[in-house]
Chain A
Amino acid sequence: MAASDTAASLFALLPVWLPLLGALLIGASGLPGVFLSSRSRAGERLAVVLHGVGALAVLVGAVASLFVASSPRFELAWSLPFGSFRIEVDGLSAAFLVPLVVVPALGAVYGLRYWSQREHPETGRKLRAFYGVLAASLVLLTIARDGVLFLFAWEGMALSAFFLITTDHDDPEARAAGRVYFIATHVGTLALFALLSIVFAQTGSFGLDALPEASASAGACAAIFALGLLGFGLKAGLMPLHVWLPGAHAVAPSHVSAVLSAVVLKTGVYGLARLTCMLPHPPLYWGGLVLALGAISGVAGVVFAIAQHDLKRLLAYHSIENVGIIVMGLGLALLGRSQGRADWIALGLGGAILHVWNHSFFKALLFLSAGSVIHRVHTREIDRMGGLARSMPVTAALFLCGAVAICGLPPLNGFVSELLIYLGLWKTLAPADGSPVAAAALAVPALAMIGALAAACFVKAFGAVFLGVARRPHEREPVEAPRTMLVPMAALALLCAAIGLLPALAVPFLDRAAATWSAAATAGGGAPVPLRTLAPVGPLGWITVLSAALWVGAAAAVLLLRRRMRVEDDQRVPTWDCGYAAPTARMQYSSSSFAEMLVAIFRWALRPREHAPRLRELFPKSAHHRSHVDDVVLDRWFLPVLRWIARKLLWLRFLQPGRIQLYILYVLIAVLALALSTVPVGELLKGLVPR
Chain B
Amino acid sequence: MSATADALLVFVLMLNFVVLGSGRIRSLIYTVAAQGVALGVLPVLVHPAGLREALVSIGAIVLKSAVIPRMLMRAMADLPVRREVQPLVGFRTSLVLGAVATAASLLLASRLPVLGNTAVRLLVPASFATVLCGFIVLIARVKAITQVLGYLVLENGIFLFGLLLLDAMPFLVEIGVLLDLFVAIFVMGIIINHIHREFSSISTERLSTLRE
A–B contact with Cβ pairs below 8 Å: the answer is yes
Interface pair B111/A658, CB less than 8 Å apart: no
List CB contacts (< 8 Å) of B194-212 with chain A.
Answer: 204-205, 207-211
Interface pair A79/B172, CB less than 8 Å apart: yes
Query: Hey, which chain B residues are within 8 Å of A688, CB to CB?
Result: 107-108
7 contacts between A and B (CB under 8 A): A79-B172, A660-B147, A661-B140, A661-B142, A668-B135, A687-B111, A688-B107
Interface pair B111/A668, CB less than 8 Å apart: no
Counting CB contacts under 8 A, is A665 at the interface? yes
Query: Hey, which chain B residues are within 8 Å of A679, CB to CB?
Result: 111-113
Interface pair B205/A659, CB less than 8 Å apart: yes
Query: Hey, which chain A residues are within 8 Å of B111, CB to CB?
Result: 679, 683-684, 687
Query: Hey, which chain B residues are within 8 Å of A657, CB to CB?
Result: 208, 211
B173-212 to A contact mask, C-beta < 8 Å, 1/0: 1000000000000000000000000000000110111110
Counting CB contacts under 8 A, is B139 at the interface? yes
Cα(A688)–Cα(B107), bound, Å: 8
Counting CB contacts under 8 A, is B170 at the interface? yes
Q: Which residue of B lies closest to A665 (CB)?
A: B139
Interface pair A658/B208, CB less than 8 Å apart: yes
Interface pair A658/B139, CB less than 8 Å apart: no
Given contacts A79-B170, A684-B111, A687-B111, contact A661 B139 (CB under 8 A): yes
Counting CB contacts under 8 A, is A571 at the interface? no
Residue among A668, A683, A688 facing the most chain B CB atoms (10 A cut-off): A668
Interface residues of B (CB under 8 A from A): 88, 107-108, 111-113, 132, 135, 138-142, 147, 170-173, 204-205, 207-211
Query: Hey, which chain B residues are within 8 Å of A684, CB to CB?
Result: 108, 111
Query: Hey, which chain B residues are within 8 Å of A683, CB to CB?
Result: 111
Cα(A687)–Cα(B141), bound, Å: 35
Cα(A684)–Cα(B211), bound, Å: 41
Which of A658, A665, A678, A687 is the one whose CB lies under 8 Å from B211?
A658
Q: Return B66 CB to nearest CB of chain A, in Å.
A: 22
Q: Which residue of A lies closest to B87 (CB)?
A: A661
Given contacts A658-B209, A661-B140, A664-B139, 16 further A-B contacts (CB under 8 A): A79-B170, A79-B173, A80-B170, A657-B208, A658-B211, A659-B208, A660-B147, A661-B139, A664-B135, A664-B138, A667-B135, A668-B132, A668-B135, A675-B112, A678-B113, A679-B111
Q: Return B112 CB to nearest CB of chain A, in Å.
A: 6
Q: Return B75 CB to nearest CB of chain A, in Å.
A: 18
Query: Hey, which chain B residues are within 8 Å of A687, CB to CB?
Result: 111
Q: Which residue of A lies closest to B138 (CB)?
A: A664
Counting CB contacts under 8 A, is A656 at the interface? yes
Residue among B139, B141, B147, B170 facing the most chain A CB atoms (10 A cut-off): B139
Cα(A181)–Cα(B210), bound, Å: 24
A656-691 to B contact mask, C-beta < 8 Å, 1/0: 111111001101100000010011000110011000
Query: Hey, which chain B residues are within 8 Å of A656, CB to CB?
Result: 211
Closest 7 CB pairs of A and B: A658-B208, A658-B211, A79-B170, A668-B135, A664-B138, A661-B139, A665-B139
Q: Return B202 CB to nearest CB of chain A, in Å.
A: 12
Q: Return A555 CB to nearest CB of chain B, in Å.
A: 60
Q: Return B103 CB to nearest CB of chain A, in Å.
A: 12
Query: Hey, which chain B residues are within 8 Å of A668, CB to CB?
Result: 132, 135, 139
Cα(A656)–Cα(B108), bound, Å: 33
Q: How large is the interface on A (under 10, 10 to 19, 20 to 34, 35 or more residues)?
A: 10 to 19
Interface pair B204/A660, CB less than 8 Å apart: yes
Cα(A687)–Cα(B108), bound, Å: 9
Interface residues of A (CB under 8 A from B): 79-80, 656-661, 664-665, 667-668, 675, 678-679, 683-684, 687-688
Which of B112, B135, B140, B207 is the one whose CB lies under 8 Å from A658?
B207
Query: Hey, which chain A residues are within 8 Å of B139, CB to CB?
Result: 661, 664-665, 668
Query: Hey, which chain A residues are within 8 Å of B170, CB to CB?
Result: 79-80
Q: Return B19 CB to nearest CB of chain A, in Å.
A: 16
Cα(A659)–Cα(B204), bound, Å: 8
Which of A79, A80, A661, A667 is the one whose CB lies under 8 Å from B88?
A661
Cα(A684)–Cα(B107), bound, Å: 10
Cα(A657)–Cα(B138), bound, Å: 17
Interface pair B210/A658, CB less than 8 Å apart: yes
Cα(A79)–Cα(B204), bound, Å: 40
Query: Hey, which chain A residues are within 8 Å of B140, CB to CB?
Result: 661
Q: Which residue of A lies closest to B209 (CB)?
A: A658
Q: Return A309 CB to nearest CB of chain B, in Å.
A: 35
Interface pair A661/B204, CB less than 8 Å apart: yes
Q: Which residue of A lies closest to B170 (CB)?
A: A79
Residue among B107, B135, B209 facing the most chain A CB atoms (10 A cut-off): B135
Cα(A37)–Cα(B109), bound, Å: 52
Cα(A665)–Cα(B97), bound, Å: 14
Cα(A79)–Cα(B142), bound, Å: 41
Q: Return B128 CB to nearest CB of chain A, in Å.
A: 9
Q: Return B91 CB to nearest CB of chain A, in Å.
A: 16
Query: Hey, which chain B residues are within 8 Å of A678, CB to CB?
Result: 112-113
Q: Return B114 CB to nearest CB of chain A, in Å.
A: 10
Query: Hey, which chain B residues are within 8 Å of A667, CB to CB?
Result: 135
Query: Hey, which chain A residues are within 8 Å of B112, CB to CB?
Result: 675, 678-679
Q: Return B84 CB to nearest CB of chain A, in Å.
A: 13
Cα(A678)–Cα(B211), bound, Å: 35
Q: Return B23 CB to nearest CB of chain A, in Å.
A: 16
Residue among A659, A661, A665 facing the most chain B CB atoms (10 A cut-off): A661
Q: Return A340 CB to nearest CB of chain B, in Å.
A: 48
Query: Hey, which chain A residues are within 8 Å of B207, CB to CB?
Result: 658-660
Query: Hey, which chain A residues are within 8 Å of B135, CB to CB?
Result: 664, 667-668
Query: Hey, which chain B residues are within 8 Å of A659, CB to CB?
Result: 204-205, 207-208
Cα(A664)–Cα(B171), bound, Å: 29
Q: Return A162 CB to nearest CB of chain B, in Å.
A: 18
Q: Return A66 CB to nearest CB of chain B, in Å.
A: 37
Given contacts A79-B172, A688-B107, contact A661 B208 (CB under 8 A): no
Q: Which residue of B lies closest to A656 (CB)?
A: B211
Q: Return A378 CB to nearest CB of chain B, in Å.
A: 31
Cα(A80)–Cα(B132), bound, Å: 29
Cα(A80)–Cα(B170), bound, Å: 8
Cα(A665)–Cα(B207), bound, Å: 17
Q: Return A553 CB to nearest CB of chain B, in Å.
A: 64
Q: Which residue of A lies closest to B88 (CB)?
A: A661
Cα(A521)–Cα(B33), bound, Å: 60
Q: Return A676 CB to nearest CB of chain B, in Å.
A: 9
Q: Return A249 CB to nearest CB of chain B, in Å.
A: 30
Query: Hey, which chain B residues are within 8 Å of A665, CB to CB?
Result: 139
Cα(A79)–Cα(B132), bound, Å: 30
Query: Hey, which chain A residues are within 8 Å of B171, CB to CB?
Result: 79
Q: Which residue of A lies closest to B141 (CB)?
A: A661
Cα(A679)–Cα(B170), bound, Å: 26
Cα(A657)–Cα(B23), bound, Å: 26
Cα(A80)–Cα(B176), bound, Å: 13
Cα(A679)–Cα(B110), bound, Å: 12
Q: Which residue of A lies closest to B110 (CB)?
A: A687
Q: Return A34 CB to nearest CB of chain B, in Å.
A: 15
